[in-house]
Structure 1
Amino acid sequence: MSAPDQLLVIIDPVARHGDGESVRIAKDVLCARADVRICLPDGPAEFARALERCGSRRPVVVGDDRALLRAVDRLHRGRGLGEGPLSVVPVGAPGAVQLAGGLGVPLGAVAAARAVLEGVARRLDLLVDDSGGVVLRGLRIPAGTRAPLGTPYAPGAPGAVWDTCRSLMRTLVGPPASAGPARPARTHRLRVEADGMLLSDLDAPVEDVTVLSRDGVAEVVVRPRAGAAPIRREASAVTVSGASFRYRADTAQVTGPVWTRTWTLRRSAWALTLPVPAP
């Protein structure tokens, strides 16, 4: 009989207080089949210290998308992201765990815990910006984002990053024409470069810019004013500059304002434990 897995299960305080039953179920499934050490951090500092001291144990994060992002960011900054796979049991409201679901993690506590025990590590790409921040899937720079720094945007229905982008755009441009006079879409002036190639300059107003990591490349889409065709390009590095702007990454946490930012794709930079693919 093989030795049981050695796991460090870090339970985010938001998950503990928000859905204790799902946390209990996940703990029961994991403890039944693995050598588990439970960590109950009270805040981000203790969360980071737990990750730094996991040793030979495989880290398992129980929490929502923000907890997952915090773990990846901490491991990246501590240069431990590539040392072994990270596992996650998503616990939170549907809109708060859609990033984990989009990466392929089961959203039920039992299924997710079983994937931790029985799954396989899958290498994933990462977008890293010039301030050291990380983006797991994608980001968007919409015109007219007036939310204050740190204000979350909670999409109404789970889905992929592009579904979130479309939902956000509908919110930004207002009600349909039948509900009243149409208002012009907001625009801003940005310089967008993909691997040094200029896609849009300050003299061409754009409605938004999106960057999505997909299959070893960063897909860049620049959407000019209504009626103009989107500009699409695949790249390994994307630089956006111009008037100060804010952007929404992954779980739509607002970052900024910034004057310039470069995102570089790092292929297969980290590993996430996912269910074994069906034959």
Structure 2
Amino acid sequence: MATFATSDQLLVIIDPAARQTDGESVRIAKDVLSAGAAAKLCLPEGPEEFARALDRRGSRRPVVIGDGRALVRAVTLLHRQRELAGCALSVVPVGDTALAESLGVPGGAVAAARAVLDGAERRLDLLVDDSDGVVLGALGIPPAPGRAVAARPVPIASGRPWYRSLVRTLASRPARLPAVPSPCAARLRVEVDGRTVVDLDQPVVTVSVTPGTDGVASVEVRPLSVGAEATPLLASGRSVTVTGADFRYRADAAVSGPVRRRTWRVAEGAWGLVLPAGR
């Protein structure tokens, strides 16, 4: 595990979404990093400028200030340039911090920036799919449904007789309770290292795949059950293939698809993330 000195030169790429979401955390992170190292700041306005800044990093260590999408973008760019193995990434999470924190990065701007300066590189596994997409933290099929939109309240009655009559009629009706959504089942074939875990004749509620640190991914399949909750099917392996009718999937923070077949393979120790020493 490589450790870093505060004298290292840094390329600090500040994602535009982070500047809009939490400018104060961005400012704090910049101050801590600039006080502890020679830091060159880049403020890209979009994905193309983000890619150019990362491509021109030279010998500087790249530091991404942004959310999970910004981190995935950086890893994807380096992976497709085949430069991921020789580049240790750092991140100061701003905005949605869930992905970075799940990987071991501190959530606060100060703690995360200190980890950039004083931390150590840890090699992590990566899921790479057959379209050259990457998964850092977790893969979910199908994606979790969005939140329901709340209904607007009925306005207070005005002085018009017809309006008061309408409101009384609506109020006299029994309130409709929102329907409880049934599990969203899908018919998928899930294969791990060529072995079928579940086939198309068994509807499933969810499939989750998580890369580890030893070249093996953990797979959990939850079949649809009537009555008691079904026992999840567990498997592990180096490749996972899912086949089904136009399914979507969530890779980290992004939803992709629909596709009818996708294979993910584990790339062992494919990328390096700077974490607090000892983690």
TM category, shorter: 0.7 to 0.9
Whether 2:92 is the aligned partner of 1:50: answer no
The residue identity in structure 1 corresponding to 2:124 is L
Question: Does the 8 Å contact 2:12/2:41 carry over to 1?
Answer: yes
- Pairs within 5 Å for 1:128-143: 128-142=128-142
Secondary structure class of the residue paired with 1:21: helix
Aligned to 2:204: 206
Whether 2:261 is the aligned partner of 1:243: answer no
Which consecutive residues of structure 2, in runs of 5 or more, have no partner in the other structure? 148-176
Question: Does the 8 Å contact 2:65/2:93 carry over to 1?
Answer: yes
Cα distance between partner residues in 2 of 1:22 and 1:16:
9
Secondary structure class of the residue paired with 1:41: coil
Cα distance between partner residues in 1 of 2:99 and 2:178:
35
The number of residue pairs the alignment matches comes to 242
Cα distance between partner residues in 2 of 1:182 and 1:64:
33
Question: Does the 8 Å contact 2:68/2:99 carry over to 1?
Answer: yes
Cα deviation, residue 107, structure 1? 1.2
Whether 2:186 is the aligned partner of 1:188: answer yes
Question: Does the 8 Å contact 2:244/2:261 carry over to 1?
Answer: yes
Aligned to 1:79: 82
- Pairs within 5 Å for 1:156-235: 184-216=182-214, 217-226=216-225, 227-235=229-237
Cα 1:115–1:181 change in 2 (3 A) is closer
Aligned to 1:160: none
**What is the aligned-residue RMSD (CA, Å)?**
2.0
Secondary structure class of the residue paired with 1:186: coil
Secondary structure class of the residue paired with 1:14: helix
Cα deviation, residue 265, structure 1? 0.5
Question: Does the 8 Å contact 2:124/2:212 carry over to 1?
Answer: no
Which consecutive residues of structure 1, in runs of 5 or more, have no partner in the other structure? 148-152, 154-178
Cα 1:4–1:180 change in 2 (3 A) is closer
Secondary structure class of the residue paired with 1:277: coil
Aligned to 2:22: 19
Cα 1:31–1:3 change in 2 (3 A) is closer
Aligned to 2:127: 127
Aligned to 1:262: 263
Secondary structure class of the residue paired with 1:88: strand
Secondary structure class of the residue paired with 1:203: coil
The residue identity in structure 2 corresponding to 1:262 is T
Cα deviation, residue 54, structure 1? 0.4
The residue identity in structure 2 corresponding to 1:13 is P
Cα deviation, residue 186, structure 1? 2.6
The residue identity in structure 1 corresponding to 2:51 is A
Aligned to 1:4: 7
Q: Looking at CA atoms only, which structure, 1 or 2, has the larger radius of gyration?
A: 2
Cα 1:112–1:182 change in 2 (3 A) is closer
The percent identity for this pair of structures is: 59
The residue identity in structure 2 corresponding to 1:140 is G
Cα 1:98–1:183 change in 2 (3 A) is closer
Cα deviation, residue 146, structure 1? 6.8
Cα 1:180–1:17 change in 2 (3 A) is closer
